[in-house]
Amino acid sequence: MNSAEKIKKLFAKSKVTVSSKVDDRIVSDALTTFNKSERTESLSAGFDTRRIFMKEPIIKITAAAVIVIAAMLCISYIGGSPDGASVAWADMLKNIEAARTVAYIFEIESDGVKEVFKARIKEPYFCRSDVIESPSDYKVSIRNAESNKRWILFPNTKMAVMNNDEGFPGDEIHAYEGLKRDFRDGTEKDLGQVKLNGRKTICFEISKDNKKITVWADAKTAFPIQIEEISDENGNIRKVLRSDIRFDMELDDQLFVPPADYCLLDLATQQLQTPFELTEKHLIEGLAVYPKYLDGKFCTRYGGGRPLSDEVRKKCKGEVEKIESWSDMEAHKSTLGCAFIEQLPEGSDYQYVGEDVKLGDAKKPVCWWKMPDSKTYRVIYGDLSIRDIESGDLPKVPWLEE
């Protein structure tokens, strides 16, 4: 029996099962190494014991078997099974599970609308998505799964809006967990080695219900570097692309809370916290944003005004529809103006009478209030000027006279 047959016989008795092509390749590699060692024996002076051992047939076969096993271990270590699929996929899943942070560019395209985010996740609780490209006003979304809170940050105005986790868009940490669940459904197919932007990758595909997921993993590290999801829901094609994926970055906890110099509006309590003192200037700026959208007139109600009858509710609803296109800055100014009214001390007697008052009308008041230690009222007029007025000089308020 020659050396090749002995190696094959020994290999056949092992518990490792691979394809015939792999058997032939590994045996060939082992024999090449074995024969090379025989040819170089005479050049290795000083290794007499090794030369004696290698001349014994059983030792030669054992050495070849060791070479075969080493070859098998090497293949497994670099992240691929002999047929190039299952072990690499398993290694990728292991890498993802072991990582404590992940960051990537997150693109969503649906109904002709494209949004691009920079997502950063710090498991198990924190997620932050910074809007890079979007038709919406939302700029940054932060989620804390431990406290069940979510914040929307508006960097241009340094405003943060907080609410309970339910009902907010961009649930990225859940989407990432869902993706990892999809990875474990056993339907992955090996598409072989593919170059992605000049980088050697191993490509896989998952088909699940109405969704197809393609994963490109680094051929050396077995970490995914790009993931594409395409789903079809009743003819609505939705494409999600995660690119520039990086794992185990250092992510400071301060990334996942609103900065200290932001105003914070709690939607659950309707309370606004500000890192600065609110002044009359904030109220004037808040009132001033409405005439732009309401044909040059102030809004129907602003921190007060005519009682909420069906007629008033209908009118206010129409005004809301007209101002839906306002900017982050305008919304921020309106919010700060309302907050100034809310923080007035008890007994200030705030009244809003600006309904249908034209911007620029210096004779008609828009609103007024009186500080408890003052003998006069502060009155803002249609031209946004402000004056001190005696109580007897104030106009009558129709709904207070009824």
176 pLDDT tier (thresholds 50, 70, 90): confident
Give percent of the chain with pLDDT exceeding 70: 75
165 pLDDT tier (thresholds 50, 70, 90): low
- The count of other CB atoms within 10 Å of the CB of residue 157 is 19
Indicate the fold that domain 96-247 takes in CATH: outer membrane lipoprotein receptor (LolB), chain A (2.50.20)
Query: Could you tell me if 391 and 401 are in contact, meaning their C-beta atoms sit under 8 angstroms apart?
Result: no
Candidates 393, 369, 221; CA nearest to 283 is 369
Dist CA 287 CA 370 (whole Å): 18
Question: Which are the contacts of 348, defined by CB distance < 8 A and separation ≥ 6?
Answer: 369, 370, 371, 372
Candidates 122, 130, 170; CA nearest to 146 is 122
185 pLDDT tier (thresholds 50, 70, 90): confident
List, as one string, the DSSP characters of 73-91.
Answer: HHHHHTT--TTSSHHHHHH
**CA gyration radius, the chain:** 36
Question: Using N-to-C axis directions, what is the helix angle for 20-39 and 3-13, rounded to 10°?
Answer: 130
- To the question of pTM greater than 0.75 for the whole model, the response is no
Structure tokens at 56: 């014994």
State the average pLDDT over residues 367-378.
Answer: 95
Point out the least confidently predicted range of 48-62, 190-204, 239-253: 48-62
Dist CA 347 CA 16 (whole Å): 86
Query: Could you tell me if 76 and 91 are in contact, meaning their C-beta atoms sit under 8 angstroms apart?
Result: no
Q: Which residues pair with 351 in a beta bridge?
A: 368
- Domain locations along the chain: 3-77, 96-247, 292-401
**Encoded amino acid at 42, one letter:** S
